[in-house]
Structure 1
Amino acid sequence: MYTKKDQPTPSRRQFLGASAALVSGALLGTNKLFGAPALIRNIAKPNSLINGVQIGVITYSFREMPDQSAEATLQYVLDSGISAIELMGGPAETFAGAPKNTVDMRTIFPLMRKRRENQPLTEDETKTLTEADAQMKAYRDEMTKWRISAPMNKFEQVRKMYKQAGVTIYGFKPDAFGMQASDADIDYGMRAAKAVGANQVTVEHPANDAHTLKLGKMAEKHGLRVGYHGHEQQTPTFWDTALAQSPGNAMNFDLGHYVAAGQPDPLALIRQKHTRIASMHIKDRQLPANGKGNLPWGKGDTPLLQVLTLMREQKYNFPATVELEYQIPAGSNSVAEVKKCVDFCRNALS
């Protein structure tokens, strides 16, 4: 692992000052959504392509923020100084007129993480998750019906809005590719991904060979790649079957989870499989011996510095995606902490 460095000191956060107008302009709602981006058209666009390494962010990083609309999410990305994103389904689908999800995901996400990591849940937490699971199933059924006639032009408008502000959407992660998804769901998700300008869709690895084969073949037809995401179940051979099945299958490698799983030499894995990595999530987690914690960047055991340096030196062109999962300090928020992560990357790549 790398020698610890002090966490880079973030520069003063630059607010664009157009957030309220941005959202209200869109909500006033002409069919020309571009009233919102017009407010930022003449403001300096972000650039997180740093010495050849594209630093991006997954919009899950902003899950603590109260407004999850496409317009507000764009503002969070801009305020963070980021020019490329892996966009989860919620903001774009809501913009396109999808049914409203009644589940408060800000409450459910932490409980889902505890369940995934086999942490003990209280009786109340278990009840909350069970109720949310039932609501999510009903919501997915409603979404499946909506997707049959979902307007692709609305997704194209999202792409144009983000592009006009200087932000590229490289990945799209709607809830349309899991084991419960029909072929129609999958086709919709890939058409929507193309419409927003993504070159990849991302999904949790289903641990089902028949499903990864289906997804890979459908991705080939759409000219996309499916990036399979893993948590602490990642190993050096975790993706091998999917990668062998189709050139449409790829890795959405999570560097931090790989370290927390105690796996050996992530740099060797990246060197070996870099052509099949569609994108990589970066965070700073501890080794199992140190507790597996998610820490502010530069405080954990993840070789962020070495990996970013490797990407710069070898000119790897997959994006490194900031995924904010450490505890947000009192008085701060997701945007400020994501900006610190970007500053860490900027210092590491300078």
Structure 2
Amino acid sequence: MKSKNQNSGSFSRRSFIGTSAAALTAAAIPVNFAMASPASKGDNPNSNFGGVHIGAITYSWRTMPGGLENIVKYCKECGISSIELMSGDLETYLGAPESPMMEIFMEIRRQQQAQQAEGKEEQQPQRRGRPELSPEQQARMDKYNEEVREFRLNVDMKKVAAAQKLLDDAGIKPHIVKFSPSRWSDEEIDYAFKVAKALGAKGVSEEISEEAAKKLGPIAEKHSMYAVFHQHMQFAEVDGFSYDNFVGISPAVMFNFDSGHYFGSTGKNPCDILRKYHNRIFSIHIKDKTGPDTDPPNQNQVWGQGQTPLEEVLLLIKKEKWPIYCDIELEYNVKPWSNAVKEVKNCVNYARQILM
């Protein structure tokens, strides 16, 4: 990897690996500020390090068996007490119908492979995004959409309470649930905020757009919660993109600032955004990446092997005592001898070494 933008004085993976095992397992001492540390219950995890909550978006374990019970297991193995919870595992636990989309994608893939084998692939038009569905496949999706809407509008709140108890008994606090509901009906959006609130979360997250912010902001206000918006590479790719365009939509509009996407696409220091918008940034996604002027550019890396100023970001949040949740998003390729749980645990230990 040829670097044109090395960050001097960064916390390297080599120095991390070289630290003592005792340091890696040192107990975290919570600091009393706006974001309280979760209560310890026996062997339950506590990932508040020096007053900074290190958590994870549960998307990080997408390559592992799913289900809310497994999420609890992974959190305990990684020592994580704070999560941005993807809604799929939650809704499965609550009894939602299973989406046929993955099965349909597999059908389309098999069809493409068959056409390729017959030498007919070049006859198919090239499309980006969601593949075109056959009438039969679309009918299956329409049926599912109606069934899941019915489920959401009639959710059994006793099951929601059971999900909350499962997490709470394990010492795991979801601060966001990622329902991404902006294209749902208003009634279904109400369901998303109602369920997230019952779990103890403070917001529902969605991908950022002006349309989504205008739709979710007022509904979040009604529920006394936040609509939290995640960005990818818009700061680099969209002319005029700025958080300034969103802050006036609603006081309930907050940001899930992806510091890795920001640095990887712009090469700029994420601390600049944190300083300017810290009172509107609810959480950040943390990952290590190469910058845009590196060969290869904007690539996910094992923590400590990229150029994202992870140490500077975490220490700034610690110094300023900003109540910003810091969530690991595991996106680099996991080697065959490891797995996502082990790698997230490595990231937790890396962050702890910086903060403690």
TM-score normalized with structure 1 length:
0.80
Query: Match for residue 202 of structure 1?
Result: 205
Could you say if the C-alpha distance between residues 188 and 348 of structure 1 is closer, same or farther in structure 2, counting changes exceeding 3 Å? same
Conserved? CA contact 1:199–1:224, under 8 Å: yes
Conserved? CA contact 2:210–2:246, under 8 Å: no
Could you say if the C-alpha distance between residues 153 and 82 of structure 1 is closer, same or farther in structure 2, counting changes exceeding 3 Å? same
Conserved? CA contact 1:153–1:195, under 8 Å: no
Query: Match for residue 130 of structure 1?
Result: 131
**Letter of the 1:317 counterpart:** P
Matches within 5 A, 1:76-225: 76-104=74-102, 130=131, 139-175=144-180, 177-178=181-182, 180-208=183-211, 211-225=212-226
Displacement of 1:6 in angstroms is 2.7
Aligned alpha-carbon RMSD (Å): 3.0
- Kindly report structure 1 stretches of 4+ aligned residues shifted beyond 4 Å: 10-14, 122-129, 131-138
Query: Could you report, residue by residue, the CA deviation over 1:310-342 in whole angstroms, capped at 9, with x for unpaired residues?
Result: 011111111100000000012111100000000
Query: Match for residue 327 of structure 2?
Result: 321
Correspondent of 2:264 among 260, 263, 285:
260
Matches within 5 A, 1:33-112: 43-66=42-65, 68-104=66-102
Displacement of 1:237 in angstroms is 4.9
Query: Match for residue 339 of structure 2?
Result: 333
Give the fraction of aligned pairs with identical amino acids, expressed as a percent. 35
Q: 2-side partners of 1:232 and 1:259: how far apart?
A: 9
State the number of aligned residues.
306
**Letter of the 2:302 counterpart:** P
Could you say if the C-alpha distance between residues 317 and 150 of structure 1 is closer, same or farther in structure 2, counting changes exceeding 3 Å? same
Conserved? CA contact 1:2–1:301, under 8 Å: no
Correspondent of 1:288 among 282, 287, 292:
292
Structure 2 residue matching 1:100: 3-state secondary structure: coil
Displacement of 1:174 in angstroms is 1.6
Could you say if the C-alpha distance between residues 128 and 181 of structure 1 is closer, same or farther in structure 2, counting changes exceeding 3 Å? closer
Query: Could you report, residue by residue, the CA deviation over 1:4-50 in whole angstroms, capped at 9, with x for unpaired residues?
Result: 43312396999xxxxxxxxxxxxxxxxxxxxxxxxxx9751111000
Correspondent of 1:274 among 260, 271, 278:
278
Conserved? CA contact 2:235–2:266, under 8 Å: no
Structure 1 residue matching 2:191: 3-state secondary structure: helix
Query: Match for residue 30 of structure 2?
Result: none
Unaligned runs of 5+ in 2: 1-6, 26-39, 110-121
Structure 2 residue matching 1:261: 3-state secondary structure: helix
TM-score normalized with structure 2 length:
0.78
Unaligned runs of 5+ in 1: 15-40, 112-121
Query: Match for residue 251 of structure 1?
Result: 255
Structure 2 residue matching 1:220: 3-state secondary structure: helix
Conserved? CA contact 1:57–1:82, under 8 Å: yes
